[in-house]
Amino acid sequence: MAEVPLAASFDGPPGAPVLVLANPVGTTRDIWAAQVPVLRKHFRLLRFEHRGHGGPGFASPAPPGPYTMADLGGDVLALLSSEGVERAAYCGVSLGGMIGLWLAAHAPERISSLAVCCSAVTPLPSADAWRERAALARSAGMGPISDVAVPRWFTPSFIARCPPAVAAVVSMLHGTDPEGYAGCGEAIASMDLRPLLGEVRAPALLLAGAEDPAAPPWHMAGAAEAIAGARLVVVRGTSHLANYETPGPVTDALLRHFLATAPAERP
Question: How large is the average pLDDT for residues 122-147?
Answer: 96
**Cα 71 from Cα 140, distance rounded (Å):** 25
Instruction: Give the H/E segment covering residue 20.
Output: strand 18-22
Q: Identify the pLDDT of residue 2.
A: 82
- Residue 208 pLDDT more than 90? yes
Exposed, middle or buried, 248 (CB in 10 Å: 0-12/13-18/19+)?
A: exposed
User: What percentage of the chain carries pLDDT values higher than 70?
Assistant: 98
163-194 tens-digit pLDDT: 999 999 999 999 999 999 999 999 999 999 99
Give the predicted TM-score (pTM) of the model: 0.96
CA atoms within 13 A on the CB side of 95: 32
CB 96 within 8 A of CB 82: no
Which amino acid belongs to residue 198? G
CB 242 within 8 A of CB 32: no
30-44 tens-digit pLDDT: 999 999 999 999 999
Say how many Å lie between the first and final Cα of the chain, rounded.
Answer: 27
Q: Identify the pLDDT of residue 267.
A: 40
CB within 8 Å of 253: residues ≥ 6 apart: 115, 205, 207, 233, 235
Residue 129: count other Cβ atoms within 10 Å of its Cβ: 15
**Cα 67 from Cα 242, distance rounded (Å):** 26
Question: 8-261 in CATH: which number?
Answer: 3.40.50.1820
- Cα Rg for the chain, rounded, in angstroms? 17
Exposed, middle or buried, 71 (CB in 10 Å: 0-12/13-18/19+)?
A: buried
